[in-house]
Amino acid sequence: MLATLGAQGAARQPALAGRIALAMGDKELAATYAAAAEADPGVPAMQFDLVQLYRELGDETAAQAAVKRIAASLDDLSAAELKPFVLMAAELKDGPLALAAADRLVALDGGPAALALRARALAVAGRAQEALDILAALDLSSEVAEDAYLGALKALGRRERLQAHLYRRLIDMSVSPGRRLSLIYALKESGPPFAAGSARVASSLV
C-alpha cells in the first residue's frame, strides 16, 4: 500500500502514510511519519489523519494535543470539515470542544446530521438529556443519530432502555452486516444483558 502511495505521496501526506504503515504492522515507521506530520500538519484532512494516527498508536495525549491545534482555527473549518472534527473531539471525551464545534456546524448547516452530531457533543459534555430531546425529532436509523442516542442513554445510565433499543435493532434483518456488528459491540459494552431481550436476539439468529 505504501508503494502505491509512493515516496512523494508519503512526503506530502505523512500522517496517511503512517496509518498505512501501522496497518502493515510497522509501528516504528508509523511513529516516524507521525513526527514528520507534526513538522508540517497541512490541510485539515491531513491533520485529521494525524489525530487518528496517534489514536491508533495508542497515544491519546498526542491525539488530544493535535485536536487542540485544529481547534485554534475552528472558525476556518467548513461544515464538511467540522463533521469529522466533532466526532474526534467527542471520541476523545472533550465535551466543551465537541460542543463548540457542533454549535459552529449547526450555524453553517442545520440539517439532521448536524443536529445529531450536536446531540453527540451534548452527551459528552454532560448534557445527555438535552441530547435526547434533540434526537426525539430525528430518524434514529441514521448511524450518526443512533450513535448519539446510544451515547446519551449510556451517559444517563439508562441501560435497560439502551439494551431494549439494541435488541430491536438486532432482530431487524434490514440492518446491514457491518452495522449489526457495531450494535453487537455496543450491546457487549452495555453490561450484563436482560434475559428476555437476549433470548429474542438469539432466537432470531437460529
Question: Residue 199: CB partners within 8 Å, gap ≥ 6?
Answer: none
- Using CA atoms, how far residue 95 sits from 7, 90, 121, 147, 195, in Å, is 38, 6, 6, 16, 34
Q: What is the pLDDT of residue 206?
A: 45
Instruction: Please tell me the pTM assigned to this model.
Output: 0.81
**Which of 34-38, 133-137, 186-190 has the largest mean confidence?**
133-137
pLDDT in tens, 15-27: 999 999 999 999 9
Q: What is the pLDDT of residue 191?
A: 82
pLDDT band at residue 195 using 50, 70 and 90 as cut-offs: very low
Report DSSP state, residue 206.
-
Angle at 66 between CA 129 and CA 15, to 5 degrees: 120
Query: Which runs of consecutive H residues, i.e. helices, occur in 40-158?
Result: 44-56, 60-71, 79-91, 95-108, 112-124, 128-135, 143-156
pLDDT in tens, 96-116: 999 999 999 999 999 999 999
Contact 150, 165 (CB under 8 A): yes
User: Which residue, 78, 3, 6, 66, is CA-closest to 39?
Assistant: 66
Q: What is the pLDDT of residue 38?
A: 87
Report DSSP state, residue 74.
G
Cα distance between residue 67 and residue 62, in whole Å: 9
pLDDT above 50 (res 156): yes
The amino acid at 111? G
